[in-house]
């Protein structure tokens, strides 16, 4: 199974213990979750002018995992820049996502030669 697919499944099994207020809360929780599942994960990787939240490696494959509290169209430029550097895939994990961002991801997912996913964590919490 490709690393991207394994990560997508593992991240979809991740649920924060409480709604996060800061991006690093998602990052720390997801880092521990993936480490606990045996993934080779590195936090806060800086290359040139970019800072990647999590980098996951396996058998020569490298996938970038980016965290956002609220993913919106303001983040598109950053995601576009990162996607080109990670041909094995990129996964954006957010607490909430704007509707336009969901639409953009849906279109990019169909057109991109590289695997890409958007995972919205707030959907896992029931709002009463």
Domain that holds residue 63: 3-124
Please check whether residue 53 is in contact with residue 96, taking contact to mean a CB–CB distance below 8 angstroms.
no
Please check whether residue 86 is in contact with residue 64, taking contact to mean a CB–CB distance below 8 angstroms.
yes
pLDDT of residue 43 exceeding 70, the answer is yes
Return mean pLDDT, the chain.
90
- Provide the domain count of the chain: 1
Between CA 128 and CA 126 the distance in angstroms is: 6
Q: Which two tokens stand for residue 69?
A: 């509290």
pLDDT of residue 104 exceeding 50, the answer is yes
Q: Identify the H or E element spanning 53.
A: strand 50-58
- The model's pLDDT over 2-42, given as tens digits with 9 standing for 90+, comes to 999 999 999 999 988 888 888 888 999 999 999 999 999 99
CATH code at 107?
A: 3.40.1350.10
- Global confidence as pTM: 0.91
């Amino acid at each position: 199974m490709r690393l991207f697919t394994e990560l997508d499944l593992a991240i979809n099994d991740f649920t924060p213990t409480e709604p996060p207020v800061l991006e690093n809360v998602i990052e720390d929780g997801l880092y521990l979750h993936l480490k606990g599942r045996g993934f080779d994960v590195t936090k806060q990787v800086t290359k040139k002018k970019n800072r990647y939240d999590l980098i996951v490696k396996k058998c020569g494959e490298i996938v970038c995992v980016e965290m956002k509290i609220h993913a919106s169209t303001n983040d598109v430029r950053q995601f576009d820049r990162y996607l080109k550097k990670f041909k094995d895939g990129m996964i954006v994990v957010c607490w909430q996502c704007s509707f336009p961002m969901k639409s953009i991801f849906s279109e990019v997912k169909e057109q991109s030669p590289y695997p890409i996913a958007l995972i919205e964590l707030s959907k896992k919490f029931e709002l009463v």
